[in-house]
Homo-oligomer: A and B are copies of this chain.
Amino acid sequence: MRLTELDTPCVVIDEDKVEANLAGFQRHCDTLGVALRPHIKTHKLPELARRQLELGAKGITCQKIGEAEVFAAAGFDDILITFNIVGPAKLERLAALAARVERLCVVADSATVVEGLAGCFDRPERPLGVMVECDTGAGRCGVQSAEAALELARRIEAAPGLRFAGLMTYPKAFNEAQVQAWFSRAQALFDQAGIAIPTFSSGGTPSMWKLAEAPIVTEYRIGTYAYQDRSQVAAGACRLDDCALAVMTTVVSCPTPDRVVVDAGSKALTSDLLGLEGYGCVLGHPEARVVGLSEEHGTLDFSACAERPAVGDLLSIVPNHACPVSNLFDQVHFHRAGLLTRSLPVAARGKVG
């Protein structure tokens, strides 16, 4: 079946580009001796995560328990959840998950989070791994100093059912020097205290090729590299031709000579700008601009283009941000040279909790 027979809007993914993206960065990690723990938030597909493991990934990263539950049900047994687990409902789900997943690890950045975990996990023979999340410059979660990291590691170690599993950061992009400095300070402090740091975990696709600039890092977590997207092209992490995912859409209106309206709006492409101008890149029409999105309409400006599409034509748009696009579709379609290879349900779509 040809992709052009699919109903639109739909997500189409190039098999060869995904494979090249996955294999290429795994090779890079292998060369550097860094463990790769890909983030499944981008594809949300057990099938692709399995391929990542086959290629050499150590395990997977999930952001929410709901995602981890889907992957545990699919047989994954080495999962890191990089999110503070808070509240009785979540802790109960985490306990159930830990009973099914051989190697489960979470993070914590406050005594409150550690206390919650400690109150729920009390089996010294099978402790829950807990990493301390560190804010190395991104300004999101994480302890603010190496001293605070040490204090939290001590609290984790003091809890019989928990095990200190290392330091984790979601770094600011192109911030490798600060990650190196932050983690090095922590290492010196932990060394003095006689506490080993089993893992230094970092990662983010924009500066993925700068990984070697923070040599203290032993584990790298990235997601977007699987599909790549327009924001990663802008960041220099890939070329447009490496982008494996596109939204295929139909031209439904050409109300003026310059304006083209397609059936993909923010419900297909998301409103994510990520600092870019416009909402995507129209393949084959580099001068076209995706100037506006409402929920179901995308408005394109073709004023700078020599060729104009007509109503009924298909266009493929590389989104600014691939990950939330996966989250908007119940299924995605893989292809090789325009021929459908497989359609997969997005198993971990919509798992916000």
How many identical subunits does the complex contain? 2
A64 touches B296 (CB 8 A): yes
Q: Given the known A-B contacts A10-B353, A140-B299, A296-B352, are A266 and B272 also in contact in the complex, defined by CB atoms under 8 Å?
A: yes
Query: Which range holds the interface residue count of chain A?
Result: 35 or more
Give every chain B residue within 8 A of A177 (Cβ-Cβ): none
B90 touches A261 (CB 8 A): no
How many whole Å from A322's CB to the nearest CB in chain B? 11
A329 on the interface (CB 8 Å rule)?
A: yes
Chain B CB within 10 Å — which of A90, A250, A264, A271 has the most?
A: A271
A122 on the interface (CB 8 Å rule)?
A: no
A7 touches B90 (CB 8 A): yes
B268 touches A270 (CB 8 A): no
A352 partner, pick from B9, B89, B273, beta carbons under 8 A: B9
Give every chain B residue within 8 A of A310 (Cβ-Cβ): 112
A110 touches B311 (CB 8 A): yes
* B-contacting residues, A253-277, CB 8 Å: 253-256, 259, 261, 263-264, 266-268, 270-273
* B-contacting residues, A81-127, CB 8 Å: 83-84, 86-87, 89-90, 109-110, 112-113, 116
